[in-house]
Amino acid sequence: MADAPIGLLGVLAACRLDEQHPAPAAAADSGSTAATAPVPAATAAATTTGPVLRWVPKHDELVYTFGGASARQRIQPGTRIITWTEDCFDGVVKTAADLPSKVMPAGHDNPQTGPFWIEGAEPGDTLAVHILSLTPARSYGVSSFSPGFGALVGTDRTAMLGPDFPETTWRYDVDTKRNVARTTSTTGKLAWEVPLAPFLGCLGVAPAGGEVRTTIAPGTFGGNMDCWEVRAGNTVYLGVNMPGGLLSFGDGHYEMGEGEIMGAAVEGAMNVDVVVDLVKGKHAAIPRIENADDVMFVGAGRPLEDAARVAFKAAVGWVREQTGLGDVDAYQFVSQNTKASIIQIVDTEYTVLVKVAKSRMPVRASA
């Protein structure tokens, strides 16, 4: 799983955990100003001396699609964005008694902060989103089971005659000192903890051709990938499909098991600190994630093997480009040197992660 969460940056140190709509202390004034706090070298994946946008969206500024929404902010490439995101339940599920179907407005899954218009971004370019810090913005997270949603029950696509489990919610109390979240069973007789490992479930751009996609969907544009590698210390590359890119993100996960088999992680609002760069003239065909050690590809599709094929094909192409290997040699290298994980098997499209360790890349053969 993802590494343990990185500590708050100086600009976010004053943020308090709150059960209300929290605003990061660093985000109190809107607009672009000079950076005021250094980024620890261990987490810096980008230059942070450029413009800084501190902005917390009002609830009516959140969006619920990828594509189809007008830009909420316009930024220059290299801008550092210090902001906040709502949880996947639109902030209305707070206790084990709150059932999403009863308290959530229809179509309000996975609200997004954004979209951000990146000046100069055009189709054929790529956005590089360097994630500096992700920290829980509340003292609790929530998870749930919804009938007809999940990997081990009947759904609208795998119809079964058996009865379903009842809709259920779990509240997890966050202990940042111990770096865990704790919940109890529905009977209250047993309890368990999970280690905090914050990441963004959703990070995406507008799809191509003016298409509008629900925030439940992943795809080549990113979206609801639910990938634990969208975490602090990593850079996510997303191909630009529409002018301005129209980047948005949300769906904070405090922790998630691989597969997300029940349909929800430990969901929570998140303080977010990222730098957005623009790579001109090169287009990432599918989401790519990178750090000093690994390059990773997120494939989306159904059935599951098609999601894997998308990610593996991208890995073969990347290795071929980086090394000059021919097609069949690159295929052989990837076959023997990659790791693949099921990210989630519950959404409209499944997602698979294929990881290539940079230390294992081919070297010149001895004479």
pLDDT value of residue 308: 98
Q: Does the residue 284 lie in any domain?
A: no
pLDDT value of residue 47: 65
* 193-224 exposure pattern, b = at least 16 Cβ within 10 A, e = fewer: ebebbbbbbbbbbbbeeeeebebbbbbbbbbb
For residue 48, give both structure tokens: 């942070």
Instruction: Give the Cα separation of 55 and 249 in Å (integer).
Output: 14
Let me know whether 117 and 23 are in one domain.
yes
Dihedral sign from CA coordinates of 183, 185, 191, 196: negative
Q: What CATH number does the domain containing 303 carry?
A: 3.10.28.20
Let me know whether 131 and 47 are in one domain.
yes
Let me know whether 351 and 204 are in one domain.
no
Q: Does the residue 66 lie in any domain?
A: yes
Amino acid at 325: L
Contact 213, 65 (CB under 8 A): yes
Q: Does the residue 174 lie in any domain?
A: no
DSSP code, position 259: B
Let me know whether 209 and 315 are in one domain.
no
CB-CB neighbours of 130 under 10 Å: 24
Instruction: Give the Cα separation of 38 and 112 in Å (integer).
Output: 27
Bridge partners for 183 per DSSP:
192
Let me know whether 271 and 309 are in one domain.
no
Let me know whether 209 and 330 are in one domain.
no
Let me know whether 205 and 354 are in one domain.
no
Q: What are phi and psi of 194, to 5 degrees?
A: -130, 145
Residue in 207, 201, 202, 191 with CA at minimum distance from that of residue 241: 207
Q: What is the pLDDT of residues 254-313, one digit of tens each?
A: 999 999 999 999 999 999 999 999 999 999 999 999 999 999 999 999 999 999 999 999
For 22, how many CA atoms within 13 A lie in the half-sphere containing its CB? 24
Reported for 293-296, long-range contacts at CB under 8 A and 24+ positions apart, including other chains, are 293/357, 293/358, 293/359, 294/355, 294/356, 294/357, 294/358, 295/355, 295/356, 295/358, 296/229, 296/353, 296/354, 296/355, 296/356
pLDDT value of residue 6: 31
Domain final residue pick, 218, 246, 279: 279
> pLDDT by residue for the chain (367 residues), tens digit each?
333 333 323 333 333 333 333 444 333 333 333 332 222 333 345 667 889 999 999 999 999 999 999 999 999 999 999 999 999 999 999 999 999 999 999 999 999 999 999 999 999 999 999 999 999 999 999 999 999 888 998 887 788 888 889 999 999 999 999 999 999 999 999 999 999 999 999 999 999 999 999 999 999 999 999 999 999 999 999 999 999 999 999 999 999 999 999 999 999 999 999 999 999 999 999 999 999 999 999 999 999 999 999 999 999 999 999 999 999 999 999 999 999 999 999 999 999 999 999 999 998 887 5
Q: Does the residue 168 lie in any domain?
A: no
Let me know whether 35 and 126 are in one domain.
yes
pLDDT value of residue 155: 82
Q: Does the residue 182 lie in any domain?
A: no
Let me know whether 123 and 251 are in one domain.
yes
Q: Does the residue 158 lie in any domain?
A: no
| Structural domains counted in the chain | 2
Reported pTM: 0.86
Q: Does the residue 219 lie in any domain?
A: yes
Let me know whether 341 and 212 are in one domain.
no
Contact 137, 270 (CB under 8 A): yes
Q: What CATH number does the domain containing 127 carry?
A: 2.60.120.580
Let me know whether 247 and 320 are in one domain.
no
Domain final residue pick, 245, 279, 313: 279
Q: Does the residue 246 lie in any domain?
A: yes
Let me know whether 263 and 340 are in one domain.
no
Range of the domain at 329: 297-359
